[in-house]
Amino acid sequence: MIEFKNVDLEKGIRSISDFVKLDSIGEGTYGIVYKGRDKKNGNIVAIKKIKMEQEKDGMPLTSLREIQLLKEMKHPNVVSLLEVVVGSSLDSIYLVFEYIEHDFAALIDFNNKPFKESEIKCFLLQLLRGIEYLHSHYIIHRDLKCSNLLYSDSGYLKLADFGLARKFGYPIDNITPKVVTLWYRAPELLLGAEKYSSSVDIWSIGCIFGELLLGYPLASAKNEIDQIRQIFDLLGDPNEIIWPGFSSLPNSKKIIHLFKTFL
């Protein structure tokens, strides 16, 4: 158990010193997550310290988006942001979340046998309800994977880690295809699409569904070329008949030529 450093703040703004750090939960691209306890009420919480090391102009854009979106959302299948607190310096920012006991990546790793179909139906229903809520509010998650799905002892599935999430609208703006962890990335992203919306989340859900059924990922390559090859091996090579617009994707011709070269 570690006490966070005390800091003087304006009235109404809470300090990280109001919390006790209990354990380290994990570390991602955009932050380090701890299990903690709120001294005020004794509640157990999850505390995410935002990584600021490489930022010269203040808080990272990904974190600003995450905070903005989480403050807008309220749904039983979306993790709740309780508050934003600060540390001993202006560049120490922490997000305080409700604490959820498990994530699905760990559950799959430690589960000695596949989940029952009835369990998977329950998981998938909650996942789809959470995503339906996001998409109905024009939000795409863009990083759905088993480790970003939390599961409480009371049986609730919660979407978490909105570091890559963003709003979308129509007409669809150009946005980077370099999103979503590789094993869960939609083929149009692997082929360089810069105009996309909620469909990339739906693909990720299909990958998660398959992983829950099998106990291992549907496609688990080490690079983008091998990942798209595994997808094509699983579903067949695409063409304009089964995938209208395929040939207009930035990297489609290059990928097809590459695969034909090695046949």
For residues 48 and 172, what is the distance between their CA atoms, to the nearest angstrom? 31
- Active-site hit among 57, 109, 143, 153: 143
Structure tokens at 261: 């070269």
Contacts of residue 158, Cβ cutoff 8 Å, sequence gap at least 6: 77, 78, 79, 100, 130, 149, 150, 151, 152
User: 106 near 170, Cβ under 8 Å?
Assistant: no
Check the annotation: does 49 bind a ligand: yes
With DSSP H G I counted as helix, E B as strand and the rest as coil, what are the percentages for the chain, rounded to 5?
35, 20, 45
CA angle 64-8-56, nearest 5°? 35
Helices (H), ranges, 94-223: 104-110, 117-136, 187-190, 199-214
Structure tokens at 33: 């997550």
Q: Is 38 a catalytic residue?
A: no
Strand order in the sheet with 157-159: 102-103, 149-151, 157-159
Structure tokens at 251: 């990297």
Between the CA of residue 197 and those of 107, 120, 142, what are the distances in Å? Answer: 29, 26, 9
Contacts of residue 100, Cβ cutoff 8 Å, sequence gap at least 6: 46, 79, 150, 151, 152, 156, 158, 160
Closest C-alpha to 101, from 79, 70, 129: 79
Catalytic residue numbers read 143
Specify binding-site residues: 49
